[in-house]
């Protein structure tokens, strides 16, 4: 158990819908990272937050957004969902040195 929690574990929804994925980092970790794992794209970095502020952006679609709250949990919002958004979404967190990322169990999203 990495100490990073993600909810829900599974999510099934329809095209055009909007969903919110939630992540709680390890106790004391200030940085949160979101990754998408799909069969065709592999593991791709989406976005990073540090202590509530956006720090880096990767290949995140405009339909996707994220935020980190004062209690350091983070949410990834996916809207106008398409079939191709079906994937496993991971959250990871790091301690003060921000060297090693510890991953949550992931949220498996299926868009029908």
Residues that bind another protein in the complex, under the rule CB under 8 A: 2, 31, 33, 35, 42-45, 48, 55-56, 58, 88, 90, 92, 94, 98-103, 105-106, 108
Q: Which is nearer to another protein, 14 or 40 (CB)?
A: 40
Contact between 37 and 103 under an 8 Å Cβ cutoff? The reply is no
Nearest distance in Å: CB 63, another protein = 20
Unique residue bearing structure tokens 């939630």: 22
* Beta bridge partners of residue 43, listed in sequence order: 37
> What distance in Å separates the CA atoms of residue 7 and residue 24, rounded to the nearest whole number?
9
Q: How far is the CB of 25 from another protein (least distance, A)?
A: 14
Q: Which of 1, 9, 5, 3 is nearest to 24 (CA)?
A: 5
Q: Which is nearer to another protein, 14 or 96 (CB)?
A: 96
Pick the closer one to another protein by CB: 14 or 100: 100
Q: Which is nearer to another protein, 7 or 15 (CB)?
A: 7
Distance, CA of 105 to CA of 109 (rounded, Å) = 13
């Amino acid at each position: 158990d990495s100490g990073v929690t993600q909810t829900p574990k599974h999510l099934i929804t329809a095209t055009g819908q909007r969903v919110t994925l939630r992540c709680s980092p390890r106790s004391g970790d200030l940085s949160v990272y979101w990754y998408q794992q799909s069969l065709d794209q592999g593991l791709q970095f989406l976005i990073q937050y540090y202590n509530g502020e956006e720090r880096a952006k990767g290949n995140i679609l405009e339909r996707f957004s994220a935020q980190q709250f004062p209690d350091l949990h983070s949410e990834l919002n996916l809207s106008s969902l398409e079939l191709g958004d079906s994937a496993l979404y991971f959250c990871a967190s790091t301690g003060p040195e921000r060297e090693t990322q510890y991953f949550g169990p992931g949220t498996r999203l299926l868009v029908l």
